[in-house]
Structure 1
Amino acid sequence: MRSVLFAVIITTSGAASAAGLDDHFDGSKLDVSKWTTQQVLSHQIEFTKPGRCGSAAIDIVTKEGDDGLECEDDCQRAELRTVKKSWPTFGDEVWYSFSFKITGDVPSTGSARSVIGQWKGPGDSSPMIAQRFDNGVFHITVQDNDVRRVVAKAEGDPDALLTAQNLLGNLEFNEQNVNAIKSLQSLDLISRNAPEVSKQFFSQNLMQSMGPEAKDSDAKALSQALGLPGDGDLVSQFRSLAFVAEPEKYIGKADIEIVPEANRPLPDPRKGWVDMIYRVKPGRTDNEYGPRRSGEIDIWANGEKIVSVKGNIGATLKKKDNFPLAGPYFKFGTYRLRLPGSFHFEFDEFSQSPTRAGLAQLCATH
């Protein structure tokens, strides 16, 4: 029996605090009392049967000819957002659980800047937390103002990922370093995804200079050729981060502490339902109003703890901006650069609560 979530909790100021929200999508019809549709077209909303637990799940479909609503460039956007009455007071602890999977035309390369779920707080330009699917790799990012960090991913070595991010964090954000990192990413993707092309057009030393097995002299030579500072460590470690879109957003310091659990990767959503649980407690030590303390995030996937995150999360709240202390709000669906084919983001069993005990119970686990 699924637990019944309670009604909105009202704070002394009258604002909704971590409102309960529960949707199993079994009616095969969107409940507009729970979701807003300003960033999705009606033909992009379908339902698939059966769902993760019940009779149906919602399916957000992005087809080749689809445009995006509220896009700033040539992108495809089809997202549903929680209604404002369910937004918590910003700074409150909120728990979320949901299941999702990805089907259809799913490119393993070229699928850059693909957001498949996000939390946005007051003042955020990029989401404070985002589920992403770039170049065939499911990963989760956290933002410290304009600087981004991967906190979990579906494949690879978490320690190597942290090393690469730390090295990028030591770089100064300037045009030379941005162009160098973009060039390094292009070379790495060509060497892995088109090895015959790289053999024909690039020297063997160039291709061997990237990756953890690279000779120090080769890595240093490529680093110098690209105009990067240091002794080549970034060149040899960058491969573990090369899948991300916009690698320049990882340049510079971020006050984000990432503690992975037991070297556990995220599941691959192309292989079946992935059950996610998030604990989100927003905050920053440099806020001029609102929650003036470190933010906290804990993430579970398929019943296993994946990572804990602590630090300055989201955008700094400045008194002059005077953003309302509401959110973060949650969105799911697809937001990406235009790609061919039909992409299906199936979503089910959503629950939001101030406590983990208040989340709706899921059916049998993996």
Structure 2
Amino acid sequence: MLISCLGSPAAQAKDSASRILHDGFDSSGFTEEGGLYYRENSEQAAGTAEFQTKVRRSGSGALKLSVRSLCPASDPGCSERAEIWERTPLRVPYEIPVWYGFAVKFADPIPADDHRYLIAQWKREIGPKAQGDFSPYLAFRFSGGKIFVTVETNYHPDLVSSPQNGVCPDGATPVWLRPETNQMRALVVRPPDWKAADADRFTSCTEKISVTERGNAIPEPASGWIYFAVLSKPGPKGTGHLEVFANGKWIVSVKGAIGHSDGGLGNNQYFKFGPYRDGAPDVWSLYYDDFIRSPNCEDVLKQAEYCRIVNR
């Protein structure tokens, strides 16, 4: 059995951190070894999941996830989702490092509008006593035909400055301050054709989060299959560490205050992927393949030389 009976939730989480999960979506449903499921609830009413064989990266199949137009224009808080979740007993403790790999391909037509789209996100569990709505500490987003990546943490008014001529000083990162939710969102990956208008909300700079660009651009959405390899290690007090690779190329390293430390939050992190947007017309579809989660870099990222550098 993939999920063993270990007693306390803390013991279960510690054990799950050492597991390797993998699903190539080659069957007619989720495999036990993958530890994934499609969440059936009202938020996912606009979504569908299809195990299909026509479009695939490897193996005999891939997962097609779609959302259709459902949200009324009168409800700005409504969203349309078709997200796949890790099973709750398999979640990893919040500040333990873990590697994720997944491949995504944008189906035609690829949206080009300036709108809120997400393709993957990492979050902290939210307990029943937590106050507020907490954004993902790491999110792969899409708008205006461009993929970009953001990191969220608590609002830190100290060490915040304004950009000079639109550029943050050395050691600082563009950030969108959201004091009303005790959060701030940092822009950590942007494509080469990113324009000032694309970042109209990221009008401040913070030294709480440091970004090291590795000299490679995030792929274009229309380029075909994109395989992302990601190291996830949140650390709201400044010990966070994220790495992002795409198609075997090192995109960015992020360190510092990553994630939330508010009271009432849960003990674990979790990953979910799939199309998620504010209400929009028409159907939006994404294909996913080759999901893997492992404590070991080498299982997710095949470039061993990068693993040696990151693991130092």
Higher percent of residues as helix: 1
Q: What letter is aligned with 2:294? A: S
Q: Give how far 1:296 is off.
A: 0.3
Task: Find the counterpart in structure 1 of residue 265 from structure 2.
Answer: 323
Q: Give how far 1:252 is off.
A: 5.6
**d(CA) in 1 for partners of 2:175 and 2:231?**
31
Matches within 5 A, 1:1-366: 14-17=11-14, 18=17, 19-31=19-31, 34-37=36-39, 38=41, 39-41=43-45, 44-50=48-54, 51-63=56-68, 65-67=69-71, 73-110=77-114, 112-122=115-125, 125-145=134-154, 164=166, 166=168, 240-244=195-199, 247-248=200-201, 251=204, 253=206, 255-262=208-215, 264-285=216-237, 293-315=238-260, 317-318=261-262, 321-327=263-269, 329-359=270-300
Alignment CA distance shift 1:76-1:7 (3 Å): closer
Alignment CA distance shift 1:241-1:325 (3 Å): farther
Q: Give how far 1:243 is off.
A: 2.2
Please tell me whether the aligned partners of residues 116 and 143 of structure 2 are also in contact (alpha carbons under 8 angstroms): yes
**Superimposed CA distance per residue, residues 249-295 of structure 1 (whole angstroms, 9 cap, x where no aligned partner):** 65463511010012x1111132200011001112132xxxxxxx510
Please list every run of 5 or more consecutive structure 1 residues that lacks an aligned counterpart in the other structure. Answer: 1-5, 148-160, 176-238, 286-292
Of structures 1 and 2, the larger Rg is shown by: 1
**d(CA) in 1 for partners of 2:244 and 2:106?**
20
**d(CA) in 1 for partners of 2:166 and 2:6?**
44
Alignment CA distance shift 1:268-1:30 (3 Å): same
Q: Give how far 1:341 is off.
A: 2.2
Q: Give how far 1:337 is off.
A: 1.7
**d(CA) in 1 for partners of 2:85 and 2:164?**
31
Q: What letter is aligned with 1:119? A: W
3-state SS, counterpart of residue 268 of structure 2: coil
Count of matched residue pairs? 264
**d(CA) in 2 for partners of 1:11 and 1:133?**
41
Please tell me whether the aligned partners of residues 169 and 250 of structure 1 are also in contact (alpha carbons under 8 angstroms): no
**Superimposed CA distance per residue, residues 152-178 of structure 1 (whole angstroms, 9 cap, x where no aligned partner):** xxxxxxxxx998462897999699xxx
Higher percent of residues as strand: 2
Please list every run of 5 or more consecutive structure 2 residues that lacks an aligned counterpart in the other structure. Answer: 127-132, 157-162, 180-193, 304-312
**d(CA) in 1 for partners of 2:116 and 2:214?**
26
Please tell me whether the aligned partners of residues 124 and 268 of structure 2 are also in contact (alpha carbons under 8 angstroms): yes
Alignment CA distance shift 1:344-1:130 (3 Å): same
Alignment CA distance shift 1:99-1:106 (3 Å): same
In percent, how many aligned pairs have the same letter? 27
3-state SS, counterpart of residue 61 of structure 1: strand
Task: Find the counterpart in structure 2 of residue 236 from structure 1.
Answer: none
**Superimposed CA distance per residue, residues 132-151 of structure 1 (whole angstroms, 9 cap, x where no aligned partner):** 0111101111112258xxxx
Please tell me whether the aligned partners of residues 23 and 351 of structure 1 are also in contact (alpha carbons under 8 angstroms): yes
3-state SS, counterpart of residue 28 of structure 1: coil
Q: TM-score, normalised by structure 2?
A: 0.72
Alignment CA distance shift 1:89-1:11 (3 Å): farther
Q: Give how far 1:127 is off.
A: 0.6
Q: CA RMSD in A?
A: 3.7
Please tell me whether the aligned partners of residues 28 and 47 of structure 1 are also in contact (alpha carbons under 8 angstroms): yes
